[in-house]
Structures are given as C-alpha cells and as structure tokens.
Amino acid sequence: MKIYISADIEGITGVTHWDDAVKPQPDYENFRKQMTLEVKAACDGANEAGANEIWIKDAHADGRNIDGSKLPENTKLIRGWSGHPLSMVQELNSSFDALMMIGFHSSAGSAGNPLSHTMSSSKIQYMKINDTFISEFHLFGFASMVMGVPVVLISGDEQICNDANSFMPGIITVNVKKGVGDSTINIQPDVAIDQIRDSAKQALSSDLSSYSTKVPDRFQLEIQYKHHKNAYKSSYYPGTVLVDPVTCSFQTDDYFELLRMVLFAI
C-alpha cells in the first residue's frame, strides 16, 4: 500500500499565533517538533495498517519544517517547493492508494482558527469552487479525487473537520482544537498524537473505495483578493474574468488547469 501525506502547521495541536508557525520566532521550534510527531503518528498508523511506502509533503511556509530523521524508514519527505501546480500534494498521482492530510486548517473568511486562510493570508480574502467557500483541504482534495486517490483522513481544527465531513462523508477526522476568536482550545498534544496514529490505522484498514466522492464535471473558481492590484494582475491569466475590482472568476472542466491558474494567481 502506497500512501501520501500532506502536512501543514496551522492545524497542529497548540498552534495559535503566527509566532508559533514562523521561523525564527522562539515558539516555532516547539510546534515544529509537534508537527513532526503528528506526521510520524500518521506514518505509524499507516504502517500498522500495512503501508509499505509513504510519501510526505512538508506543505507549510518554506516547506522545511518536518524533521525527517524522526520518520519511519519507509518514508520519502518532499521539502521546499518545486513550483508545480500540485503544490501541497506535489508528486501525487494515481499510483497512490490514499491521501491523508495532517495539521490542516479552516478556510479564509472562517472563524475556525485564528490563522484561518486559503493559500495566502496576505493576499486572499476568500476562494470558492462552484459557489462553495474552500480551504486548502478542498483545493487539493479535489486534485486527489480527480486522480482517483481517496482522501481518507484529516487532522486539524474543529471547523476544517466539520467541513471535511460535509465535503467527503465518511472521511476520518481528528479534531485537535477549536478556534475561539484569537484563541484556541486544544487537546493534550500526546493525546493528539495517539488519536492521529489510531485514526490513520483505522482509515487505511477499511475499504478504501468507500471514501470515493463524485467529482464535478465543471469547476468555477472565484478568488476575492484583499487588494485590487492582485485581482487586476490575475485577470490576465487566459480565461479569467475580472468580476469586480477585487474578484476574479475562472471556469474549466480540467482541474489541472484550475490549479495552474491558482499557481499564477497566488
């Protein structure tokens, strides 16, 4: 069984402020360690379920957060950013049996996490696909589904877990915290690690075909920016329409083209 894990940090247990998530702030090192341990827990659960190969994308900030020396020997860690449109799921393809997302967070415009955003906290007001507000989980979950790879597990804040359950009924979720205003209410970090390990084993020990979700025939992407200059620039991507000074719209039936547009737009 070949498994892919995409890992972010804003949905890691305890992370509450940008100082927790950004180098070289003093609190960052503690949460980098917790991110590594939560990813390792997902790997351990996958191995207990019979995985023989696990690929991991470090998908936060510069892509150089996870300590690979703490991971099992059957893992491959993707660090940094290639510039490929698959971005947070770089190298994912139909040869993988399942995708798991660790440390994911709620979308831009959501109150589910003090650090809620979609792709860019500085540029993006919100993103929608087919009139539904989307997070990074949705953006790359669609990419996985288009390839026929089921998304079987997500860990992160309560809101992203609820959104995942609505988007993909049956997905296993691990809710490690709840955002309240500019605060978070967190479960104990070791408990989070245990729950992620057990949930990964549970998710991958079941019938993976049961996680399949119907993919739309056509995708309409809407991006609203915080500054009009970014919308103006993005409107020059082929097929993109400037809806108003801060909002662009793009339609396609090829999801890779949508990801290519996002790469240009961000």
What is the tens place of the pLDDT at every residue in 241-259?
A: 999 999 999 999 999 999 9
Instruction: Please give the average per-residue pLDDT across 191-204, as a whole number.
Output: 98
* Closest residue by Cα to residue 123 from 7, 223, 1: 223
| 36 half-sphere exposure, CB direction, 13 A CA radius | 17
pLDDT of residue 214: 85
Other beta carbons within 10 Å of 160: 31
Residue ranges of the chain that CATH labels 3.40.50.10780: 2-119+135-211
Other beta carbons within 10 Å of 80: 10
Q: What angle do CA 69, 72, 74 make, to 5 degrees?
A: 115
What is the tens place of the pLDDT at every residue in 58-71?
A: 999 999 999 999 99
Q: Phi/psi class of residue 103: alpha, beta or left (left: φ > 0; alpha: ψ in -120 to 50)?
A: left
Asked: is 2-119+135-211 a CATH 3.40.50.10780 domain? The reply is: yes
Tokens at 117, concatenated: 């955003």
The amino acid at residue 90 is Q
User: Looking at the whole model, is its pTM more than 0.95?
Assistant: yes
What is the tens place of the pLDDT at every residue in 207-244?
A: 998 997 889 999 999 999 999 999 999 999 999 999 99
